[in-house]
Amino acid sequence: GDSVTQTEGQVTVSESKSLIINCTYSATSIAYPNLFWYVRYPGEGLQLLLKVITAGQKGSSRGFEATYNKETTSFHLQKASVQESDSAVYYCALRPNTGGADRLTFGKGTQLIIQP
């Protein structure tokens, strides 16, 4: 079946430094799935951060960006300069673009800790 791998359970970054959270995927059901990043701030539910539905394209939101790389099957999340308010758990997810929302597959999540 489809799978999403986030290798780091936790990432610690100093404020104003750059960030990369790794995400790779395996989509056995379809070659080019839709890809998403969701974020969960403390005490809140998950909310969509960004999505990309076309291979090779880049999505961006709130200073974060991720590029859909079909060659390396990756969708890494990056930010040039993090702030304390970015502390949250980040989830990478995929969904086949021929399937419904019931086929959404999530990674385990990466907790981002910002050091002042």
Partner 1 sequence: EAAVTQSPRNKVTVTGGNVTLSCRQTNSHNYMYWYRQDTGHGLRLIHYSYGAGNLQIGDVPDGYKATRTTQEDFFLLLELASPSQTSLYFCASSELGGSAETLYFGSGTRLTVL
By CB under 8 A, name the binding residues for partner 1: 4, 34, 38, 40, 43-48, 51, 53, 91, 93, 95-109
Of 79 and 95, the one with the shorter C-beta distance to partner 1 is 95
Q: Are strands 77-79 and 58-61 parallel, antiparallel or unpaired?
A: unpaired
CB of 81 to partner 1, least distance (A): 26
Of 82 and 91, the one with the shorter C-beta distance to partner 1 is 91
CB of 49 to partner 1, least distance (A): 10
CB of 94 to partner 1, least distance (A): 10
Residue 17 structure tokens: 């430094």
35 and 93 Cβ atoms separated by less than 8 Å: yes
- CA gap 75, 52 in Å, rounded: 9
∠ at Cα 73 (14, 79), nearest 5°?
Answer: 20
Of 70 and 108, the one with the shorter C-beta distance to partner 1 is 108
